[in-house]
Structure 1
C-alpha cells in the first residue's frame, strides 16, 4: 500500500422525497472489496468544492449538478482505494429531489466504469443491512445533520 494521500474531494448526499439516500456501489480492483458511498470525487485544479460536487454528481449519476445546494458538512475520511490510503476531510453537500430520479452514470472515467456495480436509494435505517461496507461509517448521522431544517 502506498502512503496516505489527501487529494481534495467533495461528495453529495442526495435525498429524495421519501427520505432515501442515493449510494453508489463500487468494487476496488486491488482489494476486491465492494462498498457503498455517496457520489463524488476529486476537486480539479481551479475548481471550488461546490463546483466539483456538482460536476461529480452529473458525471457519476446523470443527475443535474444544479441540484447540489451550498450546504455542507466537513467529514473526516480514512479509507484505502486501489492500494492508496486516503486520510482527509471532504465536504459532503446536500442535494434534494422530490421524486426519486433515475441514475444514469454515462460519464464515468475508465477506472470508475470498471469499478461500478450499480446504485440504490436507501433509508438510513437500511444502511446497516447492506451486504457491503457503507462509507463513511457515520453516514446516517451526516444525513441527519445535513437535512435538519435551517
Structure 2
C-alpha cells in the first residue's frame, strides 16, 4: 500500500488568444500511464497558492509567472503518480496570453519531472487522460464573465 500525499498544490490553466489550453504531457513509468495536465505543483513552505502557481508556471514552461491572475477555483483531487496516491484540494489559477501558442521552455524541471516529461500541447480539445477529468468545467468556471 502506498503513502498518501496531502500537501497543498497549485496549477495554472493557461489560455492563448484563441482559447487553446496549455497541457503538459507526462509519463508515469510506475503505472505505465500517460497524463496531460496544466502546469503546477506543490507549495513550498511559507508560499501562498498564488505565489506557487506563478513560480511553477515559470519553472515548468518558461512563461512569465506575472501572467497568472488572482482568479482561482478549488478542485478536489484524488489521483496516483509514481506509486503515490495524492488526495488534496488544489487551487487552479488562470493565465491568459495575447499570442497564439506562446513558446514553452521547461528549463527548470526537477530531475523527477525531466524523467517523466514528454512535451506539451496548446490543445483546442482536451485529450483522453487529461487531469483532472473535470478540467473542461474548471476552465469554464475560471473564464466565466471574462469574455
TM-score normalised by structure 1 residue count: 0.94
State the Cα distance separating 1:105 from its structure 2 match.
0.3
- Partners in 1 of 2:59 and 2:29 — Cα distance? 21
Structure 2 residue corresponding to 1:143, chosen from 125, 132, 139: 139
1:115 counterpart residue number: 116
Q: Please say if 1:48 is aligned against 2:48.
A: yes
**Cα RMSD (Å):** 1.0
User: 1:25-45: per-residue Cα shift (whole Å, max 9, x none)?
Assistant: 000121111110000001000
1:7 counterpart residue number: 7
User: 1:12-70: per-residue Cα shift (whole Å, max 9, x none)?
Assistant: 00011101100000001211111100000010001111000000000000000000001
Moved over 4 A (4+): none
Secondary structure of the structure 2 residue equivalent to 1:136: coil
- Partners in 2 of 1:5 and 1:118 — Cα distance? 25
State the Cα distance separating 1:82 from its structure 2 match.
0.8
State the Cα distance separating 1:98 from its structure 2 match.
0.7
The answer for unaligned runs of 5 or more in structure 2 is none
2:32 counterpart residue number: 32
TM-score normalised by structure 2 residue count: 0.95
- Partners in 2 of 1:49 and 1:145 — Cα distance? 18
- Partners in 2 of 1:58 and 1:32 — Cα distance? 27
The answer for unaligned runs of 5 or more in structure 1 is none
